[in-house]
Structure 1
């Protein structure tokens, strides 16, 4: 295996990659792969809803566990907070192990674990096949839900990169799971021509790894940069790199939300529009449905697909995972798709439209922009907790009312389960 190291990870050659667009592609491929699993299924997700997609996932996981496959699913307690006891019991009774990331009690019915979420979306099958992207297990990722559907992406990969993804995913296993767990032997043979790097973001060792990969690629761009991202409010460095690229003649195109699932997000993104448009950046707002994707391409080879948005939560607080891929075929496929998305289902933003009312909005834009830019530092004043994982059991499907205060207490609780 030929690998080139850098400070944030290792580039691996000899991988195969397939782009999956929306839940229609993703769920079909994932469920079929789980159905063919022989030894192990590891899943991480921010959201699992008890709808027809969640129920379909439940069925394939139960079937896998019943035929002797080891199944571990890690879900975020904030994103996945309302599963019924019956739904959980059916899985745990069949042998599916479910972990809650950072379980916290509700305060007056409100969820309190707002920041530093497990936002990764990863699947690893038999340590040989992996999926990474931004798609959660919910029906709103299916196109047939109409205007409420979300536009999103993932990739299916094989090859040496799977070893890194597997190590990352097994690093998310809690002590109760590890007690009876032994790692599989990872198959690292080459399966294609794509070079890949896995970049993670956490609150310990890899705080800026994903952003650094973006910055490196943009700083060397010579032809085009295209970014399609749901929540766009990046760092000062990121914005300056986009401006610099546009100034030296690179075609910089942003495809952002025009039908946002959270209107506040669009307002934040628009705080950056005037500054970028003046430098020649082209901005499209996607209007067919809510854009939930987190993809980008640079020049003719570089692409990224993953869970990380370009906002303070993803770049400075959440746990995220992105694949960075050097493959001309994937780059061109993604380029053609995004080009069609912009042409057929988006509205281009111009300075003239933004100028209306600018005289009274300018002070608010300035203050809001700089407050939000420093928001991660403000949130960073609160303690950074360790990797808190608690097994989910029925009938108590949700965390107990008492807050887990430290990892020693967590381990004591898990030993008594």
Structure 2
């Protein structure tokens, strides 16, 4: 990274964070250095070595009278032990589950809290796609799931904390309002906090992807776990490819959701026909949801390019408009691509046996049907 005034601004205010020890050492440090208030909002929090490490840090902070608000998704963290929750609450930590799977009157699969945010003292925040579990940290025998986050320092963290507080306390009016989301760190460094919550008419991440893909001139690199884009993003990619923009997609070679991966494979022939380059990551499970366009626009967060994220979940991404940050992250993605298996029409024809084609077809339409059902239930419940 070049040493100039803007690179210093980026390094002081914005940091690229990788899954593994990089993320969890930062998270632990944020908790131990907190002075008065911490918010953690995450889809999955597991009761394993990594989870216990963070629990111990939170209990230590609570013993210093730091106010802690922990909200977990009711489905993603369904297995979170009630004994651990009671222990946290006895330590003075506020714990809540978002949209519990079971309530007094219904079984509910719909709208989920899928964002992954940590913010402390309105001055430091982590936003990305990384949950709290061993699989995101890695073990002596298994590499961590491939994912990213962004650490934001300074005034950017204040509205993020306000957002988290509104969600935890169920202050619907405050949550529905627009938080300050645009920060000019320098003339050519702009950071935006993007939200997607379709029920609250927030489609900022979806719209930012479509706009940025549409404006692309040279190159688009997207890392997409659970990649099943809707019609608008598919059309935007097709149009960009027609305009001779180089498009590279980093996709899952192995996945924790095999049917979703098969559904993505169903799209390979169409994507290749658009001259889009496909790369499969096989070294670990791919969980990242990021993009870099024209070595300037970057987005990192919890938003998957599929209808569940577009219409059924609360998502948060960071958008960074900075050539310095984008070029740094593009180099990181280039190293990932160098370790991937490239999918070509020739390699695809070998893989695409009649049975594989049929399995991919079934998986695609089954997944689409499940998405429709899951994303429909929140609207019925919300409007009733």
Deviation at 1:104? 2.9
Distance 1:232 1:381, change over 3 A: closer
State the match for 2:94 in structure 1.
Answer: 97
Higher relative contact order (CA 8 A, sep 6+): 1
What is the CA distance between 1:174 and its match in structure 2?
Answer: 2.6
Q: Tell me which residue corresponds to 2:224.
A: 229
Q: Which moved more, 1:88-97 or 1:358-367?
A: 358-367
* Structure 1 counterpart of 2:346, from 352, 364, 367: 352
Equivalences for 1:292-311 in 2 at 5 Å? Answer: 292-311=287-306
- Measured at CA, do residues 73 and 360 of structure 1 come closer, stay the same or move farther in structure 2, by a change above 3 Å? closer
* Distance change >3 Å, CA 82–CA 220, structure 1 → 2: same
Deviation, 1:248, is 1.1
1:5: which partner in 2?
A: none
More helix by share: 2
What is the distance in 2 between the residues matched to 1:189 and 1:382?
A: 36
Change (3 A) 1:84 1:376: closer
- The aligned counterpart of 2:21 is 24
Q: 1:62 aligns with which of 44, 59, 64?
A: 59
Report the alpha carbon displacement of residue 378 of structure 1 after superposing the two structures with TM: 4.2
Q: Deviations over 1:234-268 (max 9, x none)?
A: 11111111111112111100000001122112111
Q: Distance in 2 between matches of 1:358 and 1:138?
A: 37
Residue 200 in 1 paired to residue 195 in 2?
yes
Q: Is the Cα–Cα contact under 8 Å of residues 272 and 344 in structure 2 kept in the other structure?
A: yes
Alpha-carbon shift at residue 146 of structure 1 (Å): 3.7
Distance in structure 2 (CA, Å) of the matches to 1:30 and 1:105: 30
3-state SS of paired residue (1:49): coil
CA distance in 2, matches of 1:87, 1:171: 25
How do residues 94-243 of structure 1 correspond to structure 2 at under 5 angstroms?
A: 94-105=91-102, 112-147=107-142, 149-174=144-169, 194-243=189-238
State the distance in 2 between where 1:89 and 1:370 align.
42
The residue aligned with 2:247 is: 252
How far does the alpha carbon of each residue in 1:51-94 deviate from its partner, in whole angstroms, 9 at most, with x for none? 11111111111111111111000001111122334322332111
Change (3 A) 1:55 1:266: same
Given the two structures, how large is their TM-score scaled by the length of structure 2?
A: 0.85
DSSP 3-state at the match of 2:194: strand
Deviation at 1:370, TM superposition (A): 6.0
Q: CA deviation at 1:377?
A: 4.4
Q: 1:203, 1:384 within 8 Å by CA — same for their partners in 2?
A: no
Q: Separation in 1 of the partners of 2:97 and 2:230? A: 30
TM-score normalised by the chain length of structure 1: 0.79
Instruction: Check conservation: 1:147, 1:288, Cα contact below 8 A.
Output: no
Report the Cα distance in structure 1 between the residues aligned to 2:223 and 2:257, rounded to whole angstroms: 17
The residue aligned with 1:402 is none
Give the 3-state SS of the residue equivalent to 2:379 in structure 1.
coil
Maintained 8 Å contact 1:77/1:101: yes
1:37 to 34, 37, 45: 34
Structure 1 runs not aligned, ≥5 long: 1-12, 177-185, 388-405, 407-417
Please report the RMSD computed on the Cα atoms of aligned residues, expressed in angstroms: 2.9
- Maintained 8 Å contact 2:218/2:246: yes
| Cα displacement (A) at 1:175 | 5.7
Uncovered stretches (5+) of structure 2, i.e. residues with no partner: 1-8, 172-179
Alpha-carbon spacing, 1:189–1:248, altered in 2? closer, same or farther (3 Å): closer
Contact 1:47 / 1:75 at 8 angstroms: preserved in 2?
yes
Task: Give the Cα–Cα distance (whole angstroms) in 1 for the partners of residues 218 and 169 of structure 2.
Answer: 45
3-state DSSP class of the match of 1:137? coil
